[in-house]
Protein backbone atom coordinates (compact mmCIF):
# COMPACT_ATOMS: atom_id res chain seq x y z
CA UNK A 1 0.00 0.00 0.00
CA UNK A 2 1.37 3.35 -0.98
CA UNK A 3 1.13 6.09 1.52
CA UNK A 4 1.60 9.73 0.72
CA UNK A 5 1.94 12.49 3.24
CA UNK A 6 1.32 16.15 2.44
CA UNK A 7 4.43 18.07 1.51
CA UNK A 8 4.96 21.73 2.17
CA UNK A 9 7.59 24.38 1.68
CA UNK A 10 7.82 27.15 4.21
CA UNK A 11 9.40 30.38 3.03
CA UNK A 12 11.20 33.14 4.86
CA UNK A 13 11.10 31.80 8.36
CA UNK A 14 11.65 34.10 11.26
CA UNK A 15 12.92 31.23 13.44
CA UNK A 16 16.56 31.82 14.18
CA UNK A 17 19.26 29.70 15.75
CA UNK A 18 22.65 31.26 16.35
CA UNK A 19 24.21 27.84 16.92
CA UNK A 20 24.35 24.94 14.54
CA UNK A 21 21.67 24.41 11.91
CA UNK A 22 21.15 20.94 13.37
CA UNK A 23 19.39 22.57 16.34
CA UNK A 24 16.32 23.06 14.14
CA UNK A 25 15.74 19.42 13.11
CA UNK A 26 16.84 18.22 16.56
CA UNK A 27 14.05 20.24 18.18
CA UNK A 28 11.58 19.19 15.50
CA UNK A 29 12.24 15.46 16.02
CA UNK A 30 12.18 15.82 19.80
CA UNK A 31 8.68 17.27 19.51
CA UNK A 32 7.65 14.71 16.89
CA UNK A 33 8.51 11.97 19.38
CA UNK A 34 6.15 13.27 22.05
CA UNK A 35 2.59 12.64 23.21
CA UNK A 36 1.49 15.43 20.86
CA UNK A 37 3.50 15.12 17.63
CA UNK A 38 1.54 17.97 16.06
CA UNK A 39 3.58 20.23 18.36
CA UNK A 40 6.49 19.61 15.99
CA UNK A 41 4.55 21.37 13.23
CA UNK A 42 3.47 24.12 15.60
CA UNK A 43 7.13 24.64 16.47
CA UNK A 44 7.91 25.28 12.80
CA UNK A 45 4.84 27.32 11.85
CA UNK A 46 4.77 29.54 14.92
CA UNK A 47 8.16 30.86 13.91
CA UNK A 48 7.24 31.57 10.31
CA UNK A 49 5.19 34.71 9.84
CA UNK A 50 4.52 33.94 6.18
CA UNK A 51 3.50 30.30 6.40
CA UNK A 52 1.44 30.70 9.55
CA UNK A 53 -0.98 32.94 7.62
CA UNK A 54 -2.22 29.86 5.76
CA UNK A 55 -4.23 28.35 8.62
CA UNK A 56 -5.74 25.58 6.45
CA UNK A 57 -2.28 24.38 5.46
CA UNK A 58 -1.09 24.42 9.08
CA UNK A 59 -4.19 22.54 10.25
CA UNK A 60 -3.88 19.95 7.47
CA UNK A 61 -0.21 19.24 8.13
CA UNK A 62 -0.75 19.02 11.90
CA UNK A 63 -3.54 16.49 11.35
CA UNK A 64 -1.33 14.38 9.09
CA UNK A 65 1.52 14.33 11.60
CA UNK A 66 -0.90 13.55 14.42
CA UNK A 67 -2.22 10.54 12.45
CA UNK A 68 1.21 9.10 11.64
CA UNK A 69 1.21 6.82 14.69
CA UNK A 70 -2.15 5.36 13.67
CA UNK A 71 -0.93 4.78 10.10
CA UNK A 72 2.66 3.60 10.55
CA UNK A 73 2.96 2.82 14.24
CA UNK A 74 5.09 4.28 16.97
CA UNK A 75 7.97 6.64 16.21
CA UNK A 76 11.25 4.79 16.81
CA UNK A 77 14.19 6.89 15.59
CA UNK A 78 15.52 9.40 13.10
CA UNK A 79 18.82 9.23 11.26
CA UNK A 80 20.43 11.76 8.93
CA UNK A 81 21.05 10.03 5.59
CA UNK A 82 21.90 12.97 3.34
CA UNK A 83 23.20 16.47 3.87
CA UNK A 84 23.60 18.80 0.90
CA UNK A 85 25.19 22.17 1.60
CA UNK A 86 24.83 24.92 -0.95
CA UNK A 87 27.51 27.42 -0.14
CA UNK A 88 27.73 28.22 3.53
CA UNK A 89 24.15 29.44 4.01
CA UNK A 90 21.70 26.78 2.80
CA UNK A 91 21.43 23.12 3.81
CA UNK A 92 19.03 20.43 2.62
CA UNK A 93 18.82 17.55 5.10
CA UNK A 94 17.20 14.16 4.45
CA UNK A 95 16.31 11.89 7.34
CA UNK A 96 15.29 8.26 7.56
CA UNK A 97 12.59 8.28 10.22
CA UNK A 98 11.74 4.89 11.63
CA UNK A 99 8.23 3.88 12.59
CA UNK A 100 7.07 0.40 13.57
CA UNK A 101 5.42 -0.35 10.21
CA UNK A 102 7.81 1.35 7.82
CA UNK A 103 10.37 4.11 7.45
CA UNK A 104 9.48 7.57 6.19
CA UNK A 105 11.63 10.22 4.55
CA UNK A 106 11.65 13.70 6.06
CA UNK A 107 13.41 16.54 4.24
CA UNK A 108 14.23 19.69 6.15
CA UNK A 109 15.73 22.82 4.67
CA UNK A 110 17.58 25.50 6.65
CA UNK A 111 18.92 28.88 5.63
CA UNK A 112 21.40 31.19 7.31
CA UNK A 113 20.83 34.93 7.28
CA UNK A 114 23.49 36.96 8.96
CA UNK A 115 24.71 34.94 11.93
CA UNK A 116 21.54 32.90 12.54
CA UNK A 117 20.05 29.77 11.00
CA UNK A 118 16.37 29.74 10.04
CA UNK A 119 13.97 26.98 9.22
CA UNK A 120 13.15 27.15 5.49
CA UNK A 121 10.96 24.16 4.61
CA UNK A 122 9.84 20.59 5.26
CA UNK A 123 8.40 17.69 3.33
CA UNK A 124 7.83 14.05 4.20
CA UNK A 125 6.65 10.93 2.41
CA UNK A 126 6.77 7.14 2.37
CA UNK A 127 8.61 6.78 -0.95
CA UNK A 128 12.11 6.24 0.46
CA UNK A 129 12.02 2.47 0.15
CA UNK A 130 10.79 2.72 -3.46
CA UNK A 131 13.58 5.16 -4.28
CA UNK A 132 16.19 2.86 -2.73
CA UNK A 133 14.84 -0.11 -4.68
CA UNK A 134 14.91 1.88 -7.93
CA UNK A 135 18.49 3.00 -7.27
CA UNK A 136 19.56 -0.58 -6.51
CA UNK A 137 17.99 -1.77 -9.76
CA UNK A 138 19.73 1.01 -11.71
CA UNK A 139 23.05 -0.16 -10.25
CA UNK A 140 22.39 -3.64 -11.68
CA UNK A 141 22.28 -2.17 -15.17
CA UNK A 142 25.69 -0.51 -14.94
Q: What is the pLDDT of residues 57-95, one digit of tens each?
A: 778 889 999 999 999 999 999 999 999 999 999 999 999
Separation of alpha carbons 55 and 42, rounded Å: 11
* Ramachandran region, residue 107 (left: φ > 0; alpha: ψ -120 to 50; beta: rest): beta
- The model's confidence at residue 47, banded by pLDDT at 50, 70 and 90, is low
pTM of this prediction exceeds 0.85: no
Q: DSSP H helical segments within 19-127, as ranges?
A: 23-32, 38-45, 55-66, 68-72
The strand order across the sheet containing 103-113 reads 75-86, 90-99, 103-113, 116-125
Amino acid sequence: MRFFVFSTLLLLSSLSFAGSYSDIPDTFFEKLNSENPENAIEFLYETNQWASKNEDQVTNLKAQVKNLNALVGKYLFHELISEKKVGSRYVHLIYLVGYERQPLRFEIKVYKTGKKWRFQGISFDAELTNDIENQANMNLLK
